[in-house]
Structures are given as structure tokens and as C-alpha cells.
Amino acid sequence: MASETSARYLRFAATEARGHSPSYERLAGGVADDPGLLSLVDQLPGERRQPNLLLAAVRFLNGPVGDDYAAFRAWTVTHWTRVRNTMLERRTQTNEPGRCAVLLPVLARLPQPLALIEVGASAGLCLYPDRYAYRYDGGAVFGEADSPVVLDCVTTGPVPLPERLPEVVWRAGVDLNPLDVSEPQDVHWLECLVWPEQHERLARLRNAVGVARTEPPTLVRGDLDATIRDLVAAAPAGATPVVLHSAVLAYLPPEKRASFAATMRDLACPWISNEAPGVLPAVDRRLPPLPEADGLLFTLALNERPLARTGPHGQSLEWLPTP
Ligand SMILES: C[S@@+](CC[C@H](N)C(=O)[O-])C[C@H]1O[C@@H](n2cnc3c(N)ncnc32)[C@H](O)[C@@H]1O
């Protein structure tokens, strides 16, 4: 019978990498069938055995992650101590500014100006919705004139597309391990987390890093539930404090998600979540029956009221019918 780690690599190859990264599909599939490499990966704690973390670590160290499994394998085994240390020191913290395209319609409808607070911020690239430009359904570009970041998003349903950008007067965030846009090794790590064939995402990331460098966010190191009250309290008077997060709560055990949700209900400020199904039960319970539910889509919600289903990188926005 296949080991748990082998099954994990096979699942990653077949369901996540397929259609998005031929090289990652091939390499993860190769690891799944390689008892020698699996035994090295199994020396790591369970949460550090992720395929994405191994592949990013090899890239970070300039190892070969192309078509040739044998070359990848030989290099990884030879440099295993460095690969292992990188996998222990770093985390999967993919920061996707494209998600601002699905957050924007909600942000634009809140009482302005806004004090944005992102939990699980990584490098904070989702804290700049007012510094990017947007192209919904291939139409006219809208948003910050001359922004180097233009976010494309395909919409379905009655999306309340904004007429103007939100006014952001304060941006702050928390992460267990905040990444620093002015630190070249952190930026290199962010780049290695973008899959090899995703050239557009890489260009977008680099441009968003350039935007953030001109006005770096205030990021604190810590746990989201332990710090959120202080962050909300620190928001400037006269601005609406808005807490947002995307692709974060899946990393928490269910009891910590429940505790954070209870904190947010108590804080009673606008709370925008953009997360995979299953991580916020109160959101899932309110979702209308969806005939062709796609397990890879996220649910965008405001204070646990579902608004839309979204592509995980912000590439699509399907507004839900109002109940
Ligand atoms: C996949 S990244 C998403 C980053 C960003 N929200 C985005 O959408 O691009 C998830 C981030 O959540 C952070 N994280 C996970 N658990 C956390 C916790 N308990 N408290 C704070 N941050 C956490 C991770 O360190 C990581 O940077």
C-alpha cells in the first residue's frame, strides 16, 4: 500500500499541478513513486512534507525543476541537508495580489476611508487594492492609472463592479512569519512559490512587490487570533477598520478557526473572508445549493454572509444570487 506521503504527492500531481504546471506534475508524480526520496521527506514533521514546499526549496537553492526527474532526484539527494533546512526554515506563503480583484467590489462599498488589516498577510501584497488596476471581463482597464499591476478577472452574475477605488488610509497585517518586500531572500522565496510555468503570475508578483516597496505595510509577527484585537484598536480614528483574509484559515486547526470567528463576531467590524469551502462552517451553512460546485473555488463572504465564489488566485468572480 502507498505511504501517506506518497499518496499526498500523487494527489498534488493529479489534482493541483495537472493543467497548471507540467513540470510539477511530473516531479511530484516521480517523488510519489520513489521510496528513497520519500524516506528523506518522511524525516520531516508532517506539516513540512508538502510537495509545494519541497519543490520551492529545490528551486530556491537553484536545483533543477524542469522535465528531468532523474536530474531533480540526483540533485535533491546530493543537497538534501540544505533542502531539508530550507523546508524547515521556510513556509508555503504564496502571496497572490490577484486576489484584490475579488476583494475590490466589497471594499469599494464599505464606508470610506478604510483602514485595512490583513491576517495571514505573507508579504502584504493584498493590502494594496487601491494601487492596482483591474480589467474585468476583458473590458476597459479601471483603477490606479499607470499601475504596473493590472489584474484580470472574469465575472459571472450580478457583480457590483465598483465605480471608484476604495480610499485606503492605513494598511497593516499579521503573519506567523511576515515576509519583507525589501529583503531580497524573502522576495526570492515568494518567486519560488509561484509554479515554474506561471510566467504571468511571476511578473504580477514582481510588479506588486515594486508597488509595496514604495509604501511598505506595517506587518507584525504573531498569531492572527492573538493579535487581531490590538490591530483593530490601532486603526486610525475616522477610518473604517476592515479585517480581511484569503487562503489562510485552512492552515489552522478547526478549534482555532472557530476561536478566530468568535473574536471577529465580537469585534463587529467589516470582516471579509475569501477561503476554501469547509473552513468557515457558518459561511458554508448559508451558501445556496450550488449545482456544479467546484471544490477548488473559494467563498467570498462579508461577516460570514456568502457573496461570491472566487477563483483561488482572483482570476474569477461568480456573484451569488441575493437570497
Ligand atoms: C497561502 S498564504 C496567503 C497569503 C495572503 N493572504 C494571500 O492571499 O496572498 C497564508 C499565510 O497565512 C499565514 N498564517 C498561517 N497561519 C497563521 C496564523 N495562525 N496566524 C497568522 N498567520 C498565519 C502563513 O504564514 C502564510 O503567510
218 sits in which H/E element: strand 218-221
Mutate to test the pocket of ligand 1, among 53, 132, 176 (most ligand atoms within 8 A of CB): 176
Q: Residues near ligand 1 with C-beta < 6 Å?
A: 91, 93-96, 99, 119-122, 126, 174-177, 223-224, 245-248, 251-252
* Tens-place pLDDT, residues 186-214: 999 999 999 999 999 999 999 999 999 99
CA-nearest residue for atom 11, ligand 1, is 120
Question: Is the pLDDT assigned to residue 295 strictly greater than 70?
Answer: no
The residues, any chain, with a CB within 8 Å of residue 194's CB and separated by 6 or more, are 94, 201, 202, 205
* pLDDT for the residue numbered 141: 95
- Residue 288 Cα to ligand 1 midpoint, Å, equals 28
Q: Which atom of ligand 1 is nearest to the CA of 178?
A: 27
* Tens-place pLDDT, residues 154-167: 999 999 999 899 99
> Thinking of the domain 97-319, which architecture would CATH place it in?
3-Layer(aba) Sandwich (3.40)
State the residue for C-alpha cell 480614528: 237
- Residue 18 Cα to ligand 1 midpoint, Å, equals 24
CA-nearest residue for atom 18, ligand 1, is 223
- Give me the helix-helix angle, 69-78 and 80-89, nearest 10°: 80
- Residue 67 Cα to ligand 1 midpoint, Å, equals 30
Region 259-265: mean pLDDT is 98
- Residue 234 Cα to ligand 1 midpoint, Å, equals 21
Higher pLDDT, 143 or 288: 143
* pLDDT for the residue numbered 67: 85
- Residue 86 Cα to ligand 1 midpoint, Å, equals 18
- Residue 69 Cα to ligand 1 midpoint, Å, equals 31
- Give me the helix-helix angle, 22-32 and 51-60, nearest 10°: 110
* pLDDT for the residue numbered 291: 61
Per-residue burial over 28-65, b if 16 or more Cβ lie within 10 Å, else e, is: bbbbbebeebbebbeebeeebbbbbbbbbbbbbeebbb
Question: Is the pLDDT assigned to residue 294 strictly greater than 70?
Answer: no
List where CATH 3.40.50 sits in the chain: 97-319
* pLDDT for the residue numbered 288: 77
- Find out whether the peptide bond into 113 is cis, omega within 30 degrees of 0: yes
Over the chain, what is the mean pLDDT? 95
- Residue 203 Cα to ligand 1 midpoint, Å, equals 21
Pairing of strands 316-319, 305-310: antiparallel
Q: Categorize the per-residue pLDDT at 296 as very low, low, confident or very high, splitting at 50, 70 and 90.
A: confident
157: its cell numbers: 452574475
CA-nearest residue for atom 12, ligand 1, is 120
322 burial type by CB count under 10 A (0-12 exposed, 13-18 middle, 19+ buried) = exposed
* pLDDT for the residue numbered 292: 60
Region 256-284: mean pLDDT is 96
Mutate to test the pocket of ligand 1, among 151, 251, 255, 274 (most ligand atoms within 8 A of CB): 251
Q: Categorize the per-residue pLDDT at 293 as very low, low, confident or very high, splitting at 50, 70 and 90.
A: low
Pairing of strands 305-310, 298-302: antiparallel
- Residue 251 Cα to ligand 1 midpoint, Å, equals 8
* Tens-place pLDDT, residues 239-253: 999 999 999 999 999
Question: Is the pLDDT assigned to residue 289 strictly greater than 80?
Answer: no
* Tens-place pLDDT, residues 95-116: 999 999 999 999 999 999 999 9
% of the chain residues with pLDDT over 70:
97
Region 258-267: mean pLDDT is 98
